[in-house]
Structure 1
Amino acid sequence: MASPEQDAVTAVPALDKDGVRLTVDDAIATVTLTNPAKRNAQSPALWRALTEAGRLLPGTVRVVVLRAEGKSFSAGLDRQAFTPEGFDGEPSFMDLARGGDAELDATITEYQEAFTWWRRSDIVSVAAVQGHAIGAGFQLALACDLRVVADDVQFAMRETSLGLVPDLAGTHPLVGLVGYARALEICATGRSVHAEEAVGTGLANIAVPSADLDAAVQDLTAALLAAPRDAVIETKALLRGAGERTYEEQRVAERAAQARRLRDLAGVGE
């Protein structure tokens, strides 16, 4: 059976630019970071490509796998962003800082879009993470619903150490996974979180040897596809909203979702 990495190579890409490749095989889409020479460092162009990948997903897709070529998942933001010249054809971060509030807010909003579509209600996203996942790389892994990590993984949130904050939609899932106190400690110290701690705190669903990462993701993907799609969608919506509902409100939501499922299974209304 082909691995996700082999599938990504053999399938015809629906998108392949700026360090991002999207391939689609019926119910499974694979988004691959393709700049291992720079440890998949991120840039505004890469973020726009990630956003485009999300928009290109056909309706057949149920599971999206996020993976990266090379030894590192992503070493974070390309440091060129902090130079006076920035990236070719892009305003430098220093130029953005000197601009108006509305322009700066709109630019960061655009960047965040690359990190927000992974939790859409109609898909389940799985990040396969090896090596370094630092800063923006950590936040990209956090953008997904599930994380399978290699035993050499190193998560780190270095923004605070640089005088910045994590602003790519990573703080909400981080607190949800590990709690406020541990999230603050991870961000404020910038320390690395390794595989054992990641699994123990809920950051990762499972850790495996690096050589087994693709196979583990493939097994998880197959298990996710085994359940009926509408049941997965309803269950995901229930779990995502549970933290914002009271106990009684969650009971109401469960009853409503189950009523929809029972009627669908019974063919009522067709």
Structure 2
Amino acid sequence: MTLLDKDGVQLTVDDTVATVTLTNPAKRNAQSPALWRALAEAGKRVPGTVRVVVLRAEGKSFSAGLDRQAFTPEGFDGEPSFLDMARGSDSELDATIAGYQEAFTWWRRNDIVSIAAVQGHAVGAGFQLALACDLRVCADDAQFAMRETSLGLVPDLTGTHPLVGLVGYARALEICATGRFVHADEAERTGLANLVVPAAELDGAVQDLAAALLAAPRDAVIETKALLRGAVGRTYEEQRAAERGAQARRLRDLAGQAD
């Protein structure tokens, strides 16, 4: 069932699995504010029955990053150009960027597990979109790069937090400051990729992972995801307490089901 198909984004749902597809392979799925709004809308349209969300892209590249039109003086039709944004007030600029970020935030909701299926180039905003997901399955031709710094900018689409969490501060700084490509083998070795497979096997590997995630009871997965997401911000003792609270909820729920 197709719930959304606009501005280079398609959302389909098959029972408990939703698939978000980037559908502009002719431009290597380059991103724009319109695409970001469509991604944010897709997040709002995902039914509550969905447990796994797969993010995939048509064509040879996952996403080549921000559409180069953004760097022209006129920018995109009907959108503020970078120059217009820079000339606005601090609050206006902050609100504009926050609006763009909404396309990248909902993938980590506790009620779903999101999987990015990455092939070819995932550059800049494309890299950050892959980082927005909980898990990444990559084709062996995948190449990640964070090019914002080389353009005089910073990664601002929520990618810095997960990147540091996955590879550590020093490697994250080196990747971002140099803008170099991280190939699939390094991505798997450093934890950026959960799995690397031949390109022809990418869809099948994602389907297998989704099936494995669906095998466990939903509420147990939700509680586990919440525990793990919050672990970095808690002390050891706080995490122990969080584990106890989550387990108590699970035990009471299971006992209620047995009555």
Q: Which residue of 1 aligns with 2:116?
A: 127
Residue 233 in structure 1 maps to residue 222 in structure 2: yes
For 1:230, give the aligned amino acid.
Answer: D
Separation in 2, partners of 1:206, 1:268: 36
Q: Which residue of 2 aligns with 1:68?
A: 57
Match of 2:132 among 116, 139, 143: 143
Match of 1:152 among 141, 166, 171: 141
Match of 1:164 among 147, 153, 165: 153
Tell me, what secondary structure is at the counterpart of 1:184?
helix
Q: Which residue of 1 aligns with 2:46?
A: 57
Kindly state the Cα deviation for residue 237 of structure 1 after the two structures are TM-superposed: 0.6
For 1:108, give the aligned amino acid.
Answer: I
Kindly state the Cα deviation for residue 269 of structure 1 after the two structures are TM-superposed: 11
1:42 and 1:76 in contact (8 A); partners too: yes
Q: Which residue of 1 aligns with 2:91?
A: 102
Q: Which residue of 2 aligns with 1:89?
A: 78
Match of 2:210 among 203, 215, 221: 221
Tell me, what secondary structure is at the counterpart of 1:260?
helix
The normalised TM-score by structure 2 is 0.98
Question: Structure 1, residues 153-193: CA drift from partner, whole Å, max 9, x if none?
Answer: 00000000110000000000000000000000000000000
Counterparts of 1:187-266 in structure 2 under 5 Å?
187-266=176-255
* Structure 1: tracts of 5 or more residues without a match: 1-11
Separation in 1, partners of 2:250, 2:94: 41
Separation in 2, partners of 1:91, 1:247: 45
Separation in 1, partners of 2:78, 2:47: 31
Kindly state the Cα deviation for residue 93 of structure 1 after the two structures are TM-superposed: 1.3
Q: Which residue of 2 aligns with 1:19?
A: 8
Going from structure 1 to structure 2, the CA distance change for 1:103 and 1:218 (only over 3 Å counts) comes to same
For 1:238, give the aligned amino acid.
Answer: L
For 2:170, give the aligned amino acid.
Answer: A
Separation in 2, partners of 1:217, 1:152: 16
- Root-mean-square deviation (CA, aligned residues, Å) is 1.1
Residue 35 in structure 1 maps to residue 8 in structure 2: no
Tell me, what secondary structure is at the counterpart of 1:14?
strand
1:263 and 1:269 in contact (8 A); partners too: no
Question: Structure 1, residues 239-266: CA drift from partner, whole Å, max 9, x if none?
Answer: 0111111111111111111111111111
Going from structure 1 to structure 2, the CA distance change for 1:260 and 1:269 (only over 3 Å counts) comes to farther
Question: Structure 1, residues 96-125: CA drift from partner, whole Å, max 9, x if none?
Answer: 111111111100000000000000010000
Identity of aligned residues (%): 85
The normalised TM-score by structure 1 is 0.94
* Structure 2: tracts of 5 or more residues without a match: none
Kindly state the Cα deviation for residue 268 of structure 1 after the two structures are TM-superposed: 7.2
Separation in 2, partners of 1:59, 1:67: 21
Kindly state the Cα deviation for residue 50 of structure 1 after the two structures are TM-superposed: 0.1
Runs (4+) of structure 1 exceeding 4 A deviation are none
Q: Which residue of 2 aligns with 1:181?
A: 170
